[in-house]
Amino acid sequence: MEPDSDAVREQVRDRYAEAARAVSGGDAGSCGSGSCCSTPEEEALFGEALYNAEQRAALPGAAAAASLGCGNPTVVADLREGETVLDLGSGGGIDVLLSARRVGPTGVVYGLDMTEEMLALAQRNKAEAGITNAHFLRGQIEDVPLPADAVDVVISNCVINLSTDKARVLAEIARVLKPGGRVGVSDVVAEDRLSPEERAERGGWVGCIAGALSVSEYTVGLEAAGLTDVEVTFTHEVADGLHGAIVRARKPEAQRRELPLVGAAPAGMCC
pLDDT tens digits, 126-152: 999 999 999 999 999 999 999 999 999
How many domains, in total, are found in the chain? 1
- Asked whether residue 132 is domain-assigned, the answer is yes
Whether the Cβ atoms of residue 134 and residue 124 lie closer than 8 Å to each other: no
The CATH number given to whatever domain includes residue 117 is 3.40.50.150
Mean pLDDT, to the nearest integer, of 11-32?
A: 66
pLDDT attached to residue 256 = 44
pLDDT attached to residue 19 = 74
Residue 41, pLDDT > 60, answer no
Q: How confident is the model at residue 119 (pLDDT cuts 50, 70, 90)?
A: very high
- Asked whether residue 261 is domain-assigned, the answer is no
Residue 39, pLDDT > 50, answer no
pLDDT attached to residue 6 = 79
- Asked whether residue 47 is domain-assigned, the answer is yes
- Asked whether residue 193 is domain-assigned, the answer is yes
Residue 175: C-alpha distances to residues 57, 79, 124 (Å) = 35, 20, 30
- Among the listed residues 139, 61, 128, 59, the one whose alpha carbon sits nearest the alpha carbon of residue 99: 59
Query: Rounded to 5 degrees, what angle do the CA atoms 159, 11, 192 make?
Result: 45
- Asked whether residue 266 is domain-assigned, the answer is no
- Asked whether residue 17 is domain-assigned, the answer is yes
Q: How confident is the model at residue 37 (pLDDT cuts 50, 70, 90)?
A: very low
Q: How far apart are CA 227 and CA 250, in angstroms?
A: 5
- Asked whether residue 270 is domain-assigned, the answer is no
- Asked whether residue 265 is domain-assigned, the answer is no
pTM, full prediction: 0.80
Residue 124: C-alpha distances to residues 86, 116, 121, 142, 154 (Å) = 19, 12, 5, 26, 23
Range of the domain at 61: 5-250
> What are the pLDDT digits (tens) for 73-116?
677 788 999 999 999 999 888 899 999 999 999 999 999 999 99
